[in-house]
């Protein structure tokens, strides 16, 4: 479920809306899950 949230945030990023905690997702979501 956390990966789905990560994917959803990537969608927002592609639309130009960068979340304030996007860096956190890359830190412990992407590298933590994969």
Give the per-residue pLDDT at 21: 61
What whole-number distance in Å separates Cα of residue 1 and Cα of residue 4? 5
Across the chain, how many H-helices and E-strands are there?
Answer: 3, 0
Q: Mean pLDDT in runs of 10 for the chain (34 residues)?
A: 66 57 61 52
Give the per-residue pLDDT at 18: 57
What whole-number distance in Å separates Cα of residue 34 and Cα of residue 14? 21
């Amino acid at each position: 479920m956390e990966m789905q949230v990560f994917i959803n945030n990537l969608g927002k990023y592609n639309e130009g809306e960068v979340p304030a905690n996007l860096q956190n997702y890359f830190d412990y979501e992407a590298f933590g899950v994969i």
